């Protein structure tokens, strides 16, 4: 049995448990894209009435991954890094999923959902779709805040040196500084050194 058929059979086996849930879109059915090799996995996208997931199936060389159901891990693709959740089924074996859509009410036709799934799979391998992770974006914002604060501190030190040194404008309570306040204590070690 090929991957697409095995994945569709697996998801059809749980369809009966999902059909009465409020996340179930009765206009859709279960289908999967073709699978392709990536790293030590076969990867495809599954469409169901309740979700669209990127699905990883370890290849023979991936047995050392030792998936633990519920465990999460990140996998790097040309378009960026994505988080997967590990699972196991007797028929499917070890697999991992990355949610793309859930629920699926944005889709009113199966053909559109499948076209989207094919586009998602293609986009994973396209560097033009690379987007920064939330963590990387946060680091950039914090770095920019630090740069601005250092410029303000340098300006304040210069202004203070030229005026009465006993006056401290914008003085903060002891143990608190602007850097620690703006970053929410993300860099406590720096805050302690200020």
41: pLDDT strictly greater than 80: yes
> Which pTM value belongs to this model?
0.65
User: What string of DSSP letters covers 139-181?
Assistant: HHHHHHHHHHHHHHHHHHHHHHHHS-TT--TTPPPTT--HHHH
Confidence class for position 181, pLDDT limits 50, 70, 90 = very low
Residue extents of the structural domains in the chain: 3-129, 134-193
Select the CATH number that applies to the domain covering 3-129 from these four: 3.30.1460.40, 3.50.50.60, 3.40.30.10, 3.40.50.300: 3.30.1460.40
165: pLDDT strictly greater than 80: no
- Looking at residue 2, the DSSP 8-state letter turns out to be -
Task: Encode pLDDT of 101-135 as tens digits.
Answer: 999 999 999 999 999 999 999 999 988 766 555 55
47: pLDDT strictly greater than 90: yes
By DSSP bridging, strand 72-77 and strand 36-38 are unpaired
Burial 132-161 (b: 16+ CB within 10 A, else e): eeeeeeeeeebeeeeeebeeeeeeeeeeee
Whole-number pLDDT of residue 1: 53
How crowded is residue 11: how many other Cβ atoms within 10 Å of its Cβ?
24
């Amino acid at each position: 049995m090929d991957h697409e058929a095995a994945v569709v059979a697996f998801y059809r086996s749980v369809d009966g448990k999902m059909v009465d849930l409020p996340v179930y879109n009765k206009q859709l059915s279960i289908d999967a894209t073709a699978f392709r090799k990536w790293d030590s996995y076969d990867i495809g996208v599954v469409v169901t009435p309740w979700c669209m997931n990127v699905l990883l199936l370890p290849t023979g060389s991936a047995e050392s991954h030792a998936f633990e159901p519920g465990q999460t891990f990140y996998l790097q693709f040309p378009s960026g890094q994505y988080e997967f959740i590990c699972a196991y089924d007797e028929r499917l074996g070890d697999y991992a999923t990355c949610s793309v859509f859930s629920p699926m009410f944005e889709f009113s036709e199966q053909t559109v959902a499948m076209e989207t799934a094919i586009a998602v799979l293609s986009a994973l391998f396209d560097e033009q779709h690379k987007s920064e992770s939330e963590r990387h974006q946060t680091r950039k914002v914090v770095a920019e805040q630090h740069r601005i604060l250092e410029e303000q501190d340098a300006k304040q030190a210069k202004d203070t040196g030229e005026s009465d040194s006993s006056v401290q404008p914008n003085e903060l309570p002891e143990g608190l500084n602007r850097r620690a306040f703006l970053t929410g204590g993300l860099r406590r070690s720096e805050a302690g050194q200020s």
